[in-house]
Structure 1
Amino acid sequence: MTAVLSALEQRLDHPTAKGLAHAVSAAIRDGELVAGDRLPPIRTVAAQLALSPTTVSAAWALLARSGAVHADGRRGTTILDQGGATGGRYRQALRHEAAFTLDLSTGVPDPALLPSLGAVLAQLTSAPTTGSYLDDPVLPALADTLREDWPYAAANLAVVDGAMDAMDLIVRTTLRFGDRVVVEDPGFPPLVDLLESVGVQLVGVPLDDEGLELSALEDALREPVAAVFLQPRAQNPVGVTITTARAEAIAALLDGTDTLVVEDDSAAGLSAEALVSLGRWRPEHTAYIRSFSKSHGPDLRLAALSAPAALHRALTARRELGQGWSSRLLQQVLLGLLTSETARTEVARASVTYAARRAHVVDALAARGVVVPGTEGINIWVPVHDETAAVVRLASRGIGVAAGAPFRLGAAEVGGTDGHVRVTVGAATGDLDAVADALADAALAGGRQGRAR
């Protein structure tokens, strides 16, 4: 106990919760604390380091959110294994206990609706060579094509290895341990995993029909917020698309702050709604990410992003220490798809098909007394009485869905009606009425009839 307190005292540079959390992190990094070690009681640490118990408790909370420790009430606070795999929420969301006849749990597009690569690949025989380390990291022709319908004037564009690569670069470049960050609740599990891995304080803001709830966001902004992460179209999992009025209102709330808005537009190409970006009002404080995984193919691993000049330089410098650039060969494939009339037609057809599947199932559920929020996207957020019972009931019928828990920051109300399952309805084929019947039946599993209405 004395050795632990001494190690923390030596590394405590600032008498704050964040400073103490950094001291513990440094002790872990230096090997003074290892997995399984218990931290001293809060009052002992406070007395030894001349801190208030509230400060120590806040530091332990920061460490718990970052995955460095596990707080277990009177049993104490224990150092966790820092070498283990991360991504807990994402693994939970995709956890499969059995094979399914119809797997609607994955959040991935229908392979049959992706544009054909044949004609584009055939054109690569006459494409420019890709043998230099010194060419521009973004193909100039691709940059020109992207700018044709970019949501706001952006001088700085980058192409990266998918939306999560973009968010990882932004998070690790701009955010620091203990920063307050607003995220959608429910939201995208891999993003929450990523943010928790760097030890930020997550502030969940719920959604209504127009986007982030203004009153909840206003409450969150009563203290400084480093960044706001949102999905402007077909939000995963709820399916909400932000309105112009709501985006302008959010921009007004953020006026006068340096808060960075990070927009993950994963529905590009498949959304019927015009994109509203906060970059229209806050170009110097907005990073916009456009993913092509759902529209043109997950294995392309490409996304484009714009960012303020200083952030763009920082992201570029960070990439130069790693992969340097995204394959220009793959960029040529994407350019071919974006400029091919055939591919454009195929993507447009996919958009219509996804919308029709969603509308069919949502309308059928409504007729059965189950109301689904949101307006578009390949996923729907189905209210259920009991998540576990719903998942098991559907699995027994050969249908896989994702439980709602990994998508939420807060827990569902026990015995209430705020449980959900996420269903990738865009992947549903065949008898959609039968799918709706199974979902409606599962919505009531474990509770009285009508509880999910």
Structure 2
Amino acid sequence: MVLEKIAKRVPMRSSRSLSRTVMEMVSDGDLPSGTKMPTVRAVAKALGMSAASVAVAWRELVDWRVFETNRRGGTLVLGPPLAPRATRFDVMMRASEGIPFNLGHLTPDRAILPPMGPALLAVSQSAELNDQAPTPISTALRRAIEPIWPFTPNYLLAAHGGIAALEMALATSVRPGDRVIIETPTVSRILDILESIGARPVPIDYREDGPDLQQLAQALKTRPAAFVYQPIGNHPTGFSISQNWSAEAAKLLRDVRIPIIELVQTVLMHKQPWLSLGSHLPHAVVHIQSYNFFFGSDLRVGIAGGSDYYIDRMWQQLTFSSRWVSRVLQDALAFQLTDAEAQRHLERFIDTCRQRRNAFVSALRNVGFVLPETDAPPIWLPVSDEYIATNQMSARGVVVHPGSYFSPEPLASDHVLLNGTILAEGFEDMAQQLSRAADTRGLRGPMG
């Protein structure tokens, strides 16, 4: 009997002791995969525990993916506890293996990136180099960032990329079982992070001027722990919030005591002024900007600015180890953003990316695709069947990503994601290939 096995091995009648014992039994093979577990009430009665304590243990085992629970089938053993995996990221990387041309990843063309040598040479002479006292952000980077931030931040913090900053913001504010409002579609890594925390996404549709405000109002009634969205250049649709959306959303969120986490992955591709809810609610907003698209993956620095309360919690998390960002990287980014010659290289890179994207969008429209006017690198391409389209393009040696990777639930229509800046030539030929794979007949547009 399962109950008898558990009762013999549990050393203490507590939820943590129970969950750890069950994990050991699953790992040892005493509770093999597929075993149907007794009800919470039955376990509580057999062990002399409260049903609430057993339920806590069961929830922990579900979070660790040891158990799977559903109303009709009860609770089943899945197998030994596994470390959380970034499922969507892993699938996207595997889908790219062995395929010559990656048109799906949001990565820059390395051949046109601004040079890094002058920045590294300049920072090697910094007076702050090798200072043992850690700080949330270097003096040089603060001076470079503050003039271009979309609002006056109460606190600035450097992180190892925008996604790393986003993960810290969520990890320090959200607990397993919490609800988190997210836009849909959204960055696939956000969905992976929420899964690793054990949080429940509450999706709301991203319209052309921002996340749907009626849906946002309804989602706030679920008592969420955070709201995560992209105010500038939503990945993958490319949409950005409007002035009107910002004002109306601020009214909805004014009295809600949760962090509002904003992620911007390609801020320099978008024309200013850049909008943010931080202009209305600086005490609640954690605005995150990533710059590795413009300077390469080895200059991976993201910056979080806004709420002193929430960002200080992120900084305190960093101080448990030596995970703060090297001043070499911070000051190199500052150099790239402020030095006159570096600025000219950056402008050429951005101009080239815009020219490529415009040429690609034009070629796609010429073969029948209906695409909105956006200035973000991604192209959110409507297709009849995303899996047929991705498989056909893979067979032609081209990686594109299915739209389902970017939503926690089925979308209203199928899409694939393209990086509009990576293709340097052959726009018409690639558009024709995508047209054949997508079967554009009858498609009504990107949000149809």
- SS at structure 1 position matched to 2:122: helix
Of 410, 422, 429, 1:427 maps to 422
Who is 1:2 aligned against?
A: 3
The Cα shift of 1:138 comes to 2.2
Shift, 1:140, TM fit: 1.3
Contact 1:163 1:290 in 2 (8 A): yes
User: CA separation in 1, counterparts of 2:276 and 2:20?
Assistant: 39
Show the 5 A alignment for 1:48-87.
49=44, 67-71=65-69, 74=73, 77-84=76-83, 86-87=85-86
Assess, with a 3 A threshold, how the Cα gap between structure 1 residues 33 and 11 changes in structure 2: closer, same or farther.
farther
- 1:256 offset after TM fit, Å? 1.0
Which deviations, in whole Å up to 9, do the C-alpha atoms of 1:390-447 show, x marking residues without a partner?
112112222211122221211357xxxx1211111211111111111111211129xx
Residue of structure 2 equivalent to 1:99: 98
TM-fit CA distance, 1:150: 1.3
Aligned CA distance change for structure 1 residues 267 and 411 (closer, same or farther; 3 Å): same
The answer for unaligned runs of 5 or more in structure 1 is: 13-21
Distance 1:5 1:374, change over 3 A: farther
Q: CA deviation at 1:355?
A: 2.5
Q: Which residue of structure 2 aligns with residue 187 of structure 1? A: 186
TM-score by length of 1: 0.85
Q: Please report how far the alpha carbon of residue 308 of structure 1 lies from its aligned counterpart in structure 2 after TM superposition.
A: 2.1
Cα deviation for residue 46 of structure 1 reads 4.5
Distance 1:405 1:63 in 2: 27
The CA RMSD measured in Å over matched residues stands at 3.3
Distance 1:293 1:8, change over 3 A: farther
Q: Distance in 2 between matches of 1:209 and 1:403?
A: 21
Instruction: State the match for 1:358 in structure 2.
Output: 357
The amino acid that maps onto 2:410 is A
Q: Secondary structure at the match of 1:96?
A: helix
Gaps of 5+ in 2: none
Query: Matched residues in 1 for 2:18 and 2:136: separation?
Result: 39
Using a 3 Å threshold, how does the CA distance of structure 1 residues 68 and 202 change in structure 2: closer, same or farther? farther
- Partner residue in 2 for 1:160: 159
Equivalent residues in 2 for 1:37-56 (5 A)?
A: 37=33, 40=36, 44-46=39-41, 49=44
* Distance of 1:423 and 1:81 partners within structure 2: 37
In 2, the alpha carbon distance for the partners of 1:248 and 1:101 equals: 46
Q: Deviations over 1:309-342 (max 9, x none)?
A: 2223322221111224210111121121111122
* Inter-CA distance 125–306: structure 2 relative to 1 (3 Å threshold): closer
Question: Does 1:442 find its partner at 2:434?
Answer: no
Distance 2:42 2:252 in 1: 41
Tell me the alpha carbon deviations over residues 45-74 of structure 1, each in whole angstroms, 9 at most, x when there is no partner: 3565599x9xx9999799757745345764
Contact kept in structure 2, 1:210 and 1:240, CA below 8 Å: yes
Letter aligned with residue 424 of structure 1? N
Instruction: Please state how far the C-alpha of 1:99 moved relative to its aligned partner.
Output: 3.2
* Secondary structure, counterpart of 1:288 in structure 2: strand
Give 1:185's aligned amino acid. Answer: T
1:435 partner letter: M
Aligned to 1:17: none
TM-score by length of 2: 0.86
Structure 1 counterpart of 2:375: 376
Query: Hey, what's the Cα distance between the residues in 2 that align with 1:125 and 1:49?
Result: 63
Alpha-carbon spacing, 1:388–1:134, altered in 2? closer, same or farther (3 Å): same
Does the aligned pair in 1 maintain the 2:261–2:285 contact within 8 Å? yes
Preserved contact between residue 269 and residue 348 of structure 1 (Cα < 8 Å): no
* Contact residue 354 and residue 377 of structure 1 kept, 8 A: no
Distance 1:76 1:310, change over 3 A: closer
Deviations 1:220-258 (A, max 9, x none): 112211111111211111111111211222221112110
Q: Which moved more, 1:123-132 or 1:60-69?
A: 60-69
Q: Which residue of 2 aligns with 1:243?
A: 242
Change over 3 Å in CA distance of 1:138–1:74 after alignment to 2? closer
